Each structure stands twice: as C-alpha cells, then as structure tokens.
Amino acid sequence: MNTHQGSEVNHITDIIQVMNSGIDFYQKAQEKVEDPAIGALFQRMIDARKVSVERLQPYAINEKGEREDGSSFAVEARRAYTALLTTFTSHNDSTYVKELEEVEDKTLVEIKTAMDKPQPADCEAALAKTLLTMQSCHAEMSRMQKH
C-alpha cells in the first residue's frame, strides 16, 4: 500500500542501494577480520544499516513502485578494491576499517543529497533520523581507524 501517494520522494533508492552494498561489504569484511572488537563494530554497522533501510523502504516504494533491494556499483567497486588490497598487506583489519569508513562517507553524502531535494515531511523526518544514525556509525568507524 502506498501511504505517501501524491508526495514525490527523491533519491531514496540511491541511499538504500548504498546501504545494501555497505551491509554486504561489512558482512564479508566481518568474516575476514581477526580482532573481535572490529567484528563487533561491523555487526553494529550492519544492524544500524538494516534498521535504516527498513525505515526508508516505504519511500523507496513510493519512488519506484517496489522495494529497493539492489546495491550501488560504487560500493561494489570499493569492495573489489579492498579485496585486492588485502591480498598485498598483512594488516587486513586496519585496511577494512579504513575502506569501510569511506563507505560511511559515501552513505552520508547520499543522505545529504536526498535531504537537499524536496521531500514530503514524513520522508524528511525519516532522512533526518537516518542521517543521525549514519553520523554515529561514521564517528565510531573514525574512532576505530585512529586506534
């Protein structure tokens, strides 16, 4: 059921694609890291993204007529780059943290882009809440990268 009929949303599917790619990237990285603290951090990032994706799905349905389950090419390319890079370094955990912080940067850019476009009030509120969640994730990844 389209609960937001008559109110056009913009750029929501792009955010969800980036988040879906991030979830996949975190899950794959989580399998490879050795430090349990980093693994736990990655799980928190996965959980935050899943909640945010579900928060935005009603607006994606409004935007394209169905759930957005795709992923972003830019994030997929970064994952391939990271996989290649980790074959040449012995510091895999720190490589993943660095690359995933950049995924967080990309997510924030996409959310801010959507917030700069006209949105229905309920979508703006969902975006604002999502931005706060993702800013918190980004800050946690930045702290982990500095350690």
Question: What is the pLDDT at residue 86?
Answer: 59
Question: What is the pLDDT at residue 70?
Answer: 80
Cα–Cα distance measured from residue 147 to residue 145, given in angstroms and rounded to the nearest whole number: 5
Question: What is the pLDDT at residue 128?
Answer: 97
Cα–Cα distance measured from residue 23 to residue 68, given in angstroms and rounded to the nearest whole number: 14
Record the pTM.
Answer: 0.81
Gyration radius from the chain CA atoms: 16
DSSP string, the chain: --TTTT----SHHHHHHHHHHHHHHHHHHHHH---HHHHHHHHHHHHHHHHHHHHHHHHHHHHHSS------HHHHHHHHHHHHHHTT-S-HHHHHHHHHHHHHHHHHHHHHHHHTS---HHHHHHHHHHHHHHHHHHHHHHHHHH-
Given a contact cutoff of 8 angstroms between Cβ atoms, the answer to whether 60 and 67 are in contact is: yes
Question: What is the pLDDT at residue 136?
Answer: 95
Q: Mind listing the pLDDT tens digit of every residue in the chain (147 residues)?
A: 334 444 688 899 989 988 888 888 888 888 888 889 889 999 999 999 999 999 999 999 988 888 888 877 666 666 665 665 555 455 567 777 777 777 788 889 999 999 999 999 999 999 999 999 999 999 988 888 787
